[in-house]
Structure 1
């Protein structure tokens, strides 16, 4: 893993933010790079659910996607109005990678069509790994990043290294444009060698022969239907 400092990163970019203190207030703004976004989506989990801002006090557009709270899952009755200044959506099943990917993609599609500059904060890959295997989440991440690149989004994804071995963190970092490592995390995180990362990725590639499909190229032009098909077929086969 070769960490970068925010000043070196030219947006649009997909960034892995390796930080054990990611849930502290202002963690993103203090440790990540600045963007000129006009529409900002935050993907959080039910344990870290964000307070909905006052629409009259929002500059631009704000999207809040909560995962794992069936009380907020109103999509069965009505779709959110993406023209609103504050858009709230939810996915009740945190194991459903296909639905999570589609929910993020819907924000991107509507905002991109409206000419917005999109930024995305995905608050925790760790939460997904609690529900699905690392190799499934790795495939999901690759496909999702392809979708974000297709709309020129500035995106950063939080990853707490204290819960995982360093080669796992480095493997995820390999699919991002850049990696930002918090100083405290850097001192406690042994550096994985290229050989260790390649060994892990090779093991995941072998798993693709049994149905995971890691060899598939996540097209940057993937539609919602293609995302559903890819994630539904490839990530659900190992359950």
Structure 2
């Protein structure tokens, strides 16, 4: 039996908004740098599939898969199990995502502008995969795709994490379908040219995605309210009760030990 008196566990600290902002930005940078490395490795034939027998070619198909995977994995990168809010803060989440995602998307496009050089001769002229570093239309299209795919994946993941059970059941097949849709659309973008009509469509998808993720972020505290924190008086009362319980158990232990000594 320990001689120390148990005390209430302190609440998990909530990171500051600026910390979470740079975490949003930094995780996006980490993801795009990581997948840029896979593009570089595939260029030199060092990235393989089918139990390392066949090389993954550096082409528009692989670029589309990579940019889609960034959007699919990003909601999970945001999760922080060491924080009481699980990484999705209850205060300031709207501006964190609505402003943080587009800013991170700018950084992502800037890094991805190196991808056409990694493709080398496999870059088909006239496609986004080949023109991303020089064509403003391709840059804008990829920027809008990143925002649209990231925000809608976030909406589905936050729904699965914080919504009522009936909505989770509905969103589960939606999430599976969204993974395939994001990957397929990413491949289609990099394999084709950036047209004005396509830019308009993705602009609408991106704007609606930002609105949807902002609305869901605003409902974060409603869907998953924070547990009520104890007041100072409640802390003291809990500590007093735990001390009384500790002393009572200690007294019983001494009594049992004494009875066993007499027997």
Higher helix share: 2
TM-score, length basis structure 1: 0.25
Higher strand share: 1
TM-score, length basis structure 2: 0.23
